[in-house]
């Protein structure tokens, strides 16, 4: 069933309470999610986005209960990814001539996924408009790399709604739809997790885009993202948060991340945590074993951190593969302005700490010279390395 968002704008998506993983298994979902599509019924009828492929038949059935599909004048595809375009193929079989408004790159991503089916694409650029009657129009805003080259947002005049697609979204199931009805803690945690894990690599583009949108002087009364809660109350709050997060965000937090085989590296991790609490009692310290903690949740903590300490034992003249995999993800996320230090154990050759330093430097961290390097397991003598290591991390 469609649900009113504002005046003649309706939500017509899918709320997925059971979703546990997204992007395959690459993004963990703790509080469900939704795929938000929107229907605008002015003199013209407009459909903005659809839903993920598994829900396409439910979506089309719902839509048919609300409107005659042939009454859809325009389809807006803000983003080609299959969680928003998943119902397009089946929908277009029923209404093959309906114009689809999207970016040039979305034509490529849609045809790349669904094949060249001769859909009636209308390519739009930033500033292009589409009259929809009753004195209202849509204004298109390209959002390249937020988070695909094909992404765009659509603004509805008079109602002053920004349909932002993935930007400002959260994987968060909320039956009541709106942010003023949400569990604020969960919603903001999920918004930050989405930003840290999906959008942070594109922070410079995001900062430029936020400034550009500001320069348009469009009043924004509501932001309707494609996942999670609609920002009805004070929508500027999430724009302000994005501006903060994208500007090398940090809190007074140090995050310690490690993996271990026989607990030697774990002992070092906890000694470092104790020393941080001793040297800087107000600093928040969090300790995570990579093998036991969700990687997306750790990355949200990394976004909040001013410094990180990363530990691994030496294995096969290198680091544990779990730590190597985690580092590959860390590098992708392109965090800025954060310090890092390396620690670890060794038996006979001891490469883990120098290798960790090299990998952390490649991931864009300011790596401190000090280290905590322990042969086999921590002895009384080894403790002497910890204060200087922590002092340098906190400096
Ligand atoms: C499979 C395996 C491979 C290892 N390879 C190396 C190595 O190449 N060089 C080295 O110095 N130590 C090596 N070690 C020794 C570990 O670094 C050492 O046992 C260390 O104390 C383990 O730390 P942990 O207690 O944090 O797991 C290896 C140990 C294991 C079990």
* ipTM of the complex as predicted: 0.99
**pLDDT value of residue 24:** 84
Which tokens hold the place of 20? 């546990």
- pLDDT over threshold 90, residue 251: yes
Is residue 4 lining ligand 1, measured as CB closer than 6 Å? no
Q: 328 C-alpha to center of ligand 1: Å?
A: 21
Rounded Cα–Cα distance for residues 108 and 160 (Å): 30
For the stretch 113-141, pLDDT in tens is 999 999 999 999 999 999 999 999 999 99
**pLDDT value of residue 260:** 98
Is residue 374 lining ligand 1, measured as CB closer than 6 Å? no
**pLDDT value of residue 194:** 97
Atom from ligand 1 closest to the CA of residue 266: 26
194 is catalytic: yes
Q: 288 C-alpha to center of ligand 1: Å?
A: 20
Q: 141 C-alpha to center of ligand 1: Å?
A: 53
Give the model's confidence band at 368: pLDDT under 50 very low, under 70 low, under 90 confident, else very high. very high
Residue range 293-298: mean pLDDT, rounded: 97
Torsions phi, psi for 136 (to 5 deg): -110, 150
Domains and CATH numbers, the chain: 3-246 (3.60.15.10), 254-394 (3.40.50.360)
Q: Is the pTM of this model over 0.90?
A: yes
């Amino acid at each position: 069933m469609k649900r009113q968002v504002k005046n003649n704008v309706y939500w017509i998506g899918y709320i997925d309470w059971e979703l546990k993983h997204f992007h395959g298994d690459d993004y963990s979902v703790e509080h469900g999610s939704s795929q938000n599509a929107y229907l605008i019924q002015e003199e013209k009828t407009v459909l903005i986005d659809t839903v993920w492929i598994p829900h396409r038949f439910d979506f089309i059935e719902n839509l048919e209960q609300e409107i005659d599909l042939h009454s859809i004048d325009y389809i807006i595809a803000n983003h080609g990814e299959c969680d928003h375009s998943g119902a397009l193929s089946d929908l277009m079989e029923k209404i093959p001539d309906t114009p689809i408004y999207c970016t040039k790159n979305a034509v490529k991503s849609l045809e790349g996924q669904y094949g060249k089916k001769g859909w009636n694409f209308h390519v739009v650029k930033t500033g292009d408009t589409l009259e929809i009657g009753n004195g209202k129009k849509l204004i298109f805003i390209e959002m390249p790399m937020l988070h695909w080259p094909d992404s765009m947002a659509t603004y509805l005049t008079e109602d002053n709604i920004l349909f932002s697609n993935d930007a400002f979204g959260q994987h968060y199931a909320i039956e009541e739809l709106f942010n003023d009805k949400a569990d604020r803690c969960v919603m903001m945690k999920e918004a930050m997790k989405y930003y840290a894990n999906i959008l942070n690599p594109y922070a410079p583009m995001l900062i430029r885009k936020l400034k550009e949108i500001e320069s348009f002087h469009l009043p924004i009364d509501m932001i309707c993202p494609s996942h999670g809660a609609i920002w009805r109350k004070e929508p500027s709050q999430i724009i302000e948060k994005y501006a903060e997060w994208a500007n090398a965000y940090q809190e007074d937090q140090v995050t310690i991340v490690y993996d271990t085989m026989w607990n030697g590296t774990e002992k070092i991790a906890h000694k470092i945590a104790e020393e941080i609490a001793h040297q800087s009692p107000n600093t928040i310290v969090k300790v995570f074993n990579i093998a036991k903690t969700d990687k997306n949740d750790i990355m949200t903590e990394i976004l909040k951190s001013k410094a990180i300490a990363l530990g691994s034992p030496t294995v096969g003249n290198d680091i544990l593969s779990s730590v190597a995999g985690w580092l590959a993800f860390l590098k992708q996320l392109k965090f800025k302005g954060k310090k890092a230090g390396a620690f670890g154990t060794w038996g006979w050759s001891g490469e883990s700490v120098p290798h960790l330093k090299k990998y952390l430097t490649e991931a864009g961290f300011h790596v401190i010279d000090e280290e905590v390097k322990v042969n086999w397991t921590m002895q009384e003598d080894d403790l002497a390395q910890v204060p200087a290591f922590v002092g340098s991390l906190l400096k």
